[in-house]
Amino acid sequence: MQHTVVERELELRLILSPEHSIPVPARLGYRSDDPFAVHVIFHINSEQPVHWTFARELLVEGVFRPCGNGDVRVWPTKSQGRSVVLMALSSPDGDALLEAPAAQVSAWLERTLRAVPPGTEGEQLGLDEGLAELLAQ
């Protein structure tokens, strides 16, 4: 089965304080063989890239309204007149507040939604065929 990969390089901003932020090169990734998840990979003063995976649905909703709780929260806002999406990430290693350009995130999400429309994620995993096979035995 052919898998679709939808990636996008973009520059996020790591918010250090209300007045200070630094650019962070990042890559958004989506794979049709892992259809419920999105992957964000970025470098912050570390040898190894930082890799976060969370629900695609969370990011889709977060472009429009605040959502999420716990480790990942996403919400839209304005920064210097531009529409941005903020992602608050928490882990035992620390917390990060990242700002992403809303238009670029939305365009990339649209590509993922065309690749795997909402509600069809289960079909991508072949769960139905696997279940039918199990029950037939």
Q: In order of start, what are the domains of the chain with their CATH numbers?
A: 5-123 (2.30.31.20)
Strand order of the β-sheet with 72-79 is 50-55, 37-42, 21-31, 5-15, 94-101, 82-91, 72-79
Quick: pLDDT tens for 57-107.
999 999 999 999 889 999 999 988 999 999 999 988 788 899 999 999 999
Quick: pLDDT tens for 1-29.
678 999 999 999 999 998 899 999 999 99
Beta bridge partners of residue 123, listed in sequence order: none
